[in-house]
Amino acid sequence: MAPMPASITRESRPWERWLARRLMASLNDPDFSLELWDGFRAGATLSSVGTFRILHPTVLTRLCWQRSLAFDEAYSEGMLEVQGDLVEVLLELNRALARSSPNWLGRLSDRWQRTRHPHSFADSKSSVYHHYDISNEFYQQWLDAQLVYTCAYYSQPDLALEEAQVAKLDHVCRKLRLQPGETVVEAGCGWGALALHMARQYGVHVRAFNISHEQVAYARDRAKAEGLEDRVQFLEDDYRQIRGRFDAFVSVGMLEHVGIDNYAELGRQINRSLKPHGRGLIHTIGRNAPAPMDAWADKYIFPGAEPPSLSQMTEIFEAGRLSILDVENLRLHYAKTLREWHQRFEASAENIEHQFDVRFVRMWRLYLCASIAAFLSGDLQLFQVTCSHAENNDVPWTRADIYRSGERGGVSPSVRG
Amino acid sequence: MAPMPASITRESRPWERWLARRLMASLNDPDFSLELWDGFRAGATLSSVGTFRILHPTVLTRLCWQRSLAFDEAYSEGMLEVQGDLVEVLLELNRALARSSPNWLGRLSDRWQRTRHPHSFADSKSSVYHHYDISNEFYQQWLDAQLVYTCAYYSQPDLALEEAQVAKLDHVCRKLRLQPGETVVEAGCGWGALALHMARQYGVHVRAFNISHEQVAYARDRAKAEGLEDRVQFLEDDYRQIRGRFDAFVSVGMLEHVGIDNYAELGRQINRSLKPHGRGLIHTIGRNAPAPMDAWADKYIFPGAEPPSLSQMTEIFEAGRLSILDVENLRLHYAKTLREWHQRFEASAENIEHQFDVRFVRMWRLYLCASIAAFLSGDLQLFQVTCSHAENNDVPWTRADIYRSGERGGVSPSVRG
């Protein structure tokens, strides 16, 4: 186990206590308290949610300047502790931030949070390596057996994670109204679960793009093991390299990495990729209104990620002369999915610490819990958007078929072409 | 019958023939032809769709400058005739316009089309008088029995118009998850059908706003006749005068008249009107991308109307700190609804001509047919958008309940409180 930084023993000074009280006041006195290294407490003394414990004076001053970045780094390094349920405390923090109007502190620190990333092929590749190529083994410890690393769909609230991920794959396929023999292109295919599901369960031919080397290698092995190589082709390449026309275009959990500046290009790509009667679906983390990415997540977890608002997403469809047919917001499904991941993560925390170190475990714990809190507080949304060419009149008459039980869009699960 | 303008007998001149050919070429030679007053034809000679016949030279030159405004005025005045199915020819025109890139002609005439309307209380009132206060009797001749003047919902493609309008009212109520005893505010209630349906079928209390004097008078009479006055209150007032908090906010077919400059204010109004767990729904004609209103419809049919794109609509939800939960595009349902209206309109055309004049009949015929064509070509969309407060976690888990047959959201049709 990596050594934790020693906590400091000196007393907090008057200006530090003043700063701690100012920090809490700027949040309109939320339902948690702030405790300094010497036991001084600011804010709710009989807190019902929890306490942030600052273990070192530098954390306090950095908090004022770099807010979430300082908070998250200090937490990862063990210089800030949370007493109480981490998700609950972070949720209360989000709600307090939403209630408080931006003050001088907020405006100053926003300067730190506004980072923009280019998304050239090389940049995208390096961002994706950063996150997805850590190691398949790491993700296998807390994702479902199929390694679906996107929001599940709990068609019934009591589904297990594995079932809810299959339900998500089916929900996407039903929205795409896949028919046997059709062709599908997938932009950003992860470890291949959706591509394989579409080919296996719906009898379609899939070309799946991904720039993560490890993921593509894993997906190809699975296709081989399942005898689906003739129906699913995994390409280690950028979505901008898609050529040809398909009956469906699908992208689940890639848009976050595309970069808003590239949305018009993506829209034109979808336009070029879809046959006249083709259907498109984008599944993405989003926001209610444009906002910069959290600086810490941007630096450590997802470099270059930008969850868009629907207004920002419309750029894709306008540029691609596409018509939005359906938008579904599955925000709370992602909170539930992340809770499952977090539970499994904690069960494997010792293993993961051994594989990496304690800082890595704390960083990922914070990332998972902060994400749960963000979906619960409404800071993040999950959008599934279905589209078609603007002039296509061969679109589903209603959405009732998606919800017809026993039906499965295309073919029965036993069809294997 | 009002006299039709006499057609001219002189031969078309070389420059007029050149202009006619240029007009057709600027549309990339569409699948219809253009015939001048002396029989000269430009474009497809063996046209499969139809022919525009220009009966007077001034129409030709005005067409170049004022495009749709000139076209529509000339048609209304009988100086331009269409041979073939009016909807089909207009649809081919829309498609040709979508294919052709804007040239000098288009750019010039766009200057004519860009009109902006203020939406003060007084302006809104005068616009609404213009359209909705023509006479209830006029609309009774071609709308359904309940006078629902918005897109119907054909849950089954073979529904009759009356059934499809009831299905729409139910679709809206199901999306709002109305429960007996709840309170609803309706912004822009037309002749009251939705407000009465909600009270009668779902057992809720409704405050319904409308600035059309004739419509409110009619709606009040209906509430009285049905014994629903204690549950539905019709107010002759602007939506900006809504006070109090409700379980649901609903607006069907009003947003087109709100004006894009007022969207942020509307969003804040929805925010103020909804209880913490309240649901909101906006049903509106829209577009795939921002575009100016058709100049003729703006001048003669719907002064000040602006069908928004989804990107423009997001202003409402962002300003109101609301979360978009669901968007459904019912474009083709409006084409079908309008076809029904048009059929009934033609069956009553003689009556209507007697009540008004031939120009009025031609104007409304063109309006109905051009609207069908616009929904079929994808120039217009129909969006139903559901929302809630951003921080509300008491939102429906899935949309399956909307489609569960036999269920009706709140209470059975027999409940009458």
Q: For B8-33, what is the mean pLDDT?
A: 90
Lowest mean pLDDT among A237-246, A285-294, A310-319, B254-263: A285-294
Yes or no, beta carbons of A288 and B321 under 8 Å apart: yes
The tens digit of pLDDT for each residue in A9-66 reads 789 999 999 999 998 988 888 899 999 999 999 987 676 899 999 999 999 998 887 7
Q: Nearest Cβ partner of B391 from A95, A325, A329?
A: A95
Count the neighbouring beta carbons within 10 Å of the beta carbon of residue B350: 11
pLDDT of residue B228: 98
Q: Do B318 and A324 touch (CB under 8 A)?
A: no
Quote the tokens at residue A77: 């390094």
Q: Looking at CA atoms only, how far is residue B49 from chain A in angstroms?
A: 18
Query: Which candidate in A100, A314, A389, A402 is best for mutational testing of the B interface (most B CBs within 10 A)?
Result: A314
In this prediction, residue A97 has a pLDDT band, given cuts at 50, 70 and 90, of: confident
pLDDT average, residue stretch A139-159: 96
Confidence band (pLDDT; 50, 70, 90) for A2?
A: very low
pLDDT digits (tens, 9 = 90+) for A210-228: 999 989 999 999 999 999 9
**Which secondary-structure segment (H or E) carries B67?**
helix B57-76
| CB–CB contact B323 A398 (8 Å) | no
| Mean pLDDT on B396-405 | 93
Choose among B309, B395, B404: nearest Cβ to A332.
B395
Q: What is the pLDDT of residue A116?
A: 41
Residue-range domain boundaries for chain A: 14-113, 121-403
CATH of domain A14-113: 3.30.1050
Residue type for position A296: W
* Per-residue pLDDT reduced to its tens digit, A189-203: 999 999 999 999 999
pLDDT at B299: 74
* Contacts (Cβ under 8 Å, ≥6 apart) of A349: A361, A365
pLDDT for res A258: 94
Instruction: From chain B, pick out residues whose CB is under 8 angstroms from the CB of A329.
Output: 323-326
Helix (H, G, I), strand (E, B) or coil at B144: coil
Q: How far is A321 from chain B (nearest CA, A)?
A: 8
Residue A290: closest CA among chain B residues belongs to which residue? Answer: B318
Q: Which of A318, A377, A403 sits opposite B400 (nearest CB)?
A: A403
- List, in order, residues 6 or more apart from B348 with CB less than 8 Å away: B141, B142
Q: What is the pLDDT of residues A268-291, one digit of tens each?
A: 999 999 999 999 999 999 999 998
Position B105 scores a pLDDT of 55
Question: Is the pLDDT confidence value at A112 over 50?
Answer: no
Count Cβ–Cβ pairs < 8 Å, chain A vs chain B: 107
B-chain CB neighbours of A392 within 8 Å are 378
Q: Which CATH architecture has domain A121-403?
A: 3-Layer(aba) Sandwich (3.40)
Does the beta-carbon distance from A326 to B329 stay under 8 Å?
yes
pLDDT of residue A105: 55
Burial class (CB within 10 angstroms; exposed 0-12, middle 13-18, buried 19+) of A6: exposed
Q: Do B310 and A310 touch (CB under 8 A)?
A: yes
According to DSSP, the β-strands at A381-389 and A274-286 are antiparallel
Angle at B171 between CA B168 and CA B176, to 5 degrees: 130
Q: How far apart are CA A299 and CA B112, in angstroms?
A: 51
B77 pLDDT above the threshold of 50? yes
User: Would you call B393 an interface residue with chain A, using a CB distance cutoff of 8 Å?
Assistant: yes
pLDDT at B47: 65
Lowest-pLDDT range of A123-137, A216-230, A310-324, B233-247: A123-137
Kindly report the pTM of this predicted structure: 0.91
Mean of per-residue pLDDT scores for chain A: 88
Contact B390 A310 (CB under 8 A): no
Q: Answer for the pair A315, A263: CB distance below 8 angstroms, yes or no.
A: yes
B1 touches chain A (CB under 8 A): no
Instruction: Determine whether the interchain pair A332/B397 forms a contact, defined as Cβ–Cβ distance below 8 Å.
Output: yes
pLDDT of residue B411: 39
Q: Which amino acid appears at position A192 of this protein?
A: G
- ipTM value for the complex: 0.90
B195, HSE (Cβ side, Cα atoms, 13 Å): 32
Specify whether the CB–CB gap between A307 and A256 falls below 8 A. Answer: yes
